[in-house]
């Protein structure tokens, strides 16, 4: 835990110190990808045995397994999944990307067509927790976009099955192609294909540092959603904020893993001191005490600003994945927030409301990438193609300009393509 007063340049030094070294991870992932490309299912089975301690004859999750999973998930949670589906679907339907077309005065047709990506894979992590919410958040926008083939992969457990809540969430959404594979080896199998797994066009979904590095290395062979870093939350709090709420919300992201990064930005010494007290109390009471202690002790950065204007400036520099506005009249400053993945406004909009329920996507840009990127959405699952049908009248009228442009760039064959039609 570190408390600093904001001054120009102090945050840049902090971010530099946080930059991870990944040479060893890079080397390991390169080897895994190479082996999967060369040996396909054989290497995939070997890595599943090595990393997940499970021997599998087949990676496919059968419909029978999905049906059996309902026995392990109580009816109330199934009802909750269905309601969350409605909320998330309602929000994402408003993101549909529209085609357009217009005509010139000389009857040329110019336009844009929108085409869904054909085959998309969703990676769902295993390990420290189960993430049926990520199934909803990644599958629903792909379905609304019109993706025909949606594949889900997730690591197997010791019983050679996948998490029951993940299986039920996928089944409720109608996902039929599910594989019990995880790690960098799963990303490689999806990117290059194996004997039993057909390659995809895009891979989305969160994962650990090996999954993230694998996504980085296969980018170009396939598309990916983003290179995600550790989870982040920034709470912007003035003197009116409730320090209990602040502490709870900082911990809500810190429990993801030891590398999660919480921030508190405030202009109040009283808020800082009271929040620290509640953090200590809540951590000692928590079922995830070890993870919380590591995240808070090593990564929590408390930044004391002079006033609200400076608080907002700090927030825009950090460009957090999740930003909470626990300040007086928060809607008045919404326009000043330039860089954030998702913004939670007021004391009754804590980050978990967005993680599970309200509708906006919880797959968000991290590591300051909210400066130039956006949450996952319907637009991530479509391609836009422009089209041009020039009339002879438009061609004749504009040919000279196009030809001159080409010659200016010394691209003579571009110019000749135009000249040939003017002869």
Helix (H) or strand (E) holding 68: helix 63-69
Q: Reduce the DSSP state of residue 132 to 3 states and report it.
A: helix
The Cα–Cα gap between 178 and 154 comes to 8
**Residue 386, beta-bridge partner list:** 112
255, 321, 324, 347: the catalytic one is: 321
The Cα–Cα gap between 166 and 301 comes to 34
Pair type for strands 119-123 and 149-153: parallel
92, 213, 256, 322: the catalytic one is: 322
Q: Reduce the DSSP state of residue 200 to 3 states and report it.
A: coil
**Residue 321 bears catalytic tag:** yes
CB atoms within 10 A of CB 396: 13
Q: Is 83 exposed, middle or buried (0-12, 13-18, 19+ CB in 10 A)?
A: exposed
Long-range pairs for 100-104 at CB < 8 Å and ≥24 separation? 104/391, 104/394
Residues 148, 119: contact at Cβ < 8 Å?
Answer: yes
The Cα–Cα gap between 59 and 156 comes to 9
Cα distance between the two ends of the chain: 75
Strand order in the sheet with 301-304: 2-5, 301-304, 261-266, 232-237, 322-326, 342-345
Rounded to 10 deg, the angle between the 132-145 and 75-93 helix axes is: 40
Tokens of 269: 């010494």
The Cα–Cα gap between 183 and 185 comes to 5
Tokens of 108: 């040329």
Number of residues written out for the chain? 423
CB atoms within 10 A of CB 178: 25
Residues 155, 128: contact at Cβ < 8 Å?
Answer: no
**Measured on CA atoms in the order 52, 54, 55, 56, is the torsion positive or negative?**
negative
Number of H helices, E strands in the chain: 16, 14
Catalytic residues: 321-322
């Amino acid at each position: 835990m570190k408390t600093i007063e904001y001054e120009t340049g102090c945050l840049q030094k902090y971010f530099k110190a946080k930059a991870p070294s990944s040479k060893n991870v890079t080397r390991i992932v390169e080897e895994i990808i190479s082996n999967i490309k060369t040996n396909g299912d054989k290497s995939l089975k070997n890595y599943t045995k090595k990393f997940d301690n499970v021997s599998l004859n087949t990676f496919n999750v059968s419909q029978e397994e999905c049906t059996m999973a309902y026995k392990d998930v109580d009816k109330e949670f199934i009802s909750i999944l269905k309601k969350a589906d409605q909320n998330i679907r309602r929000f994402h339907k408003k993101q549909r990307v529209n085609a357009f077309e217009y005509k010139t005065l000389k009857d040329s047709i110019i336009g844009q067509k929108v085409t869904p990506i054909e085959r998309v894979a969703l990676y769902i992590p295993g390990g420290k927790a189960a993430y049926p919410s990520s199934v909803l958040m990644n599958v629903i926008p792909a379905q609304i976009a019109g993706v025909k083939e949606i594949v889900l992969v997730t690591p197997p457990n010791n019983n050679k099955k996948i998490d029951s809540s993940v299986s039920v969430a996928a089944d409720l959404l109608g996902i039929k192609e599910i594989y019990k594979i995880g790690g960098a080896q799963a990303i490689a199998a999806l990117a290059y294909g194996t004997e039993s797994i057909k390659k995809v066009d895009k891979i989305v979904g969160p994962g650990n540092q090996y999954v993230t590095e694998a996504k980085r290395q296969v980018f170009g062979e396939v598309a990916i959603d983003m290179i995600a870093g550790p989870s982040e939350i920034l709470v912007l709090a003035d003197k009116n904020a409730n320090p209990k709420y602040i502490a709870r919300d900082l911990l809500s992201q810190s429990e993801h893993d030891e590398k999660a990064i919480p921030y508190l930005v405030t202009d109040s010494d009283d808020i800082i001191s009271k929040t620290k007290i509640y953090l200590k109390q809540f951590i000692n009471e928590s079922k995830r005490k070890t993870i919380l202690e590591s995240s808070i002790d090593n990564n929590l950065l408390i930044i004391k600003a002079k006033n609200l204007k400076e608080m907002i400036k700090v927030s825009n520099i950090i460009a957090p994945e999740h930003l909470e506005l626990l300040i007086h009249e928060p809607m008045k400053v919404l326009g000043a927030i330039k860089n954030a993945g998702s913004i939670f406004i007021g004391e009754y909009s804590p980050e978990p409301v967005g993680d599970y329920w309200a509708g906006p996507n919880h797959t968000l840009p991290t590591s300051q990438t909210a400066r130039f990127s956006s949450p996952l959405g319907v637009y991530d699952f479509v391609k836009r193609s422009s089209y041009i049908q020039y009339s002879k009248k438009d061609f004749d009228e504009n040919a000279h300009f196009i030809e001159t442009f080409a010659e200016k760039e010394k691209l003579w064959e571009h110019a000749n393509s135009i000249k040939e039609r003017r002869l």
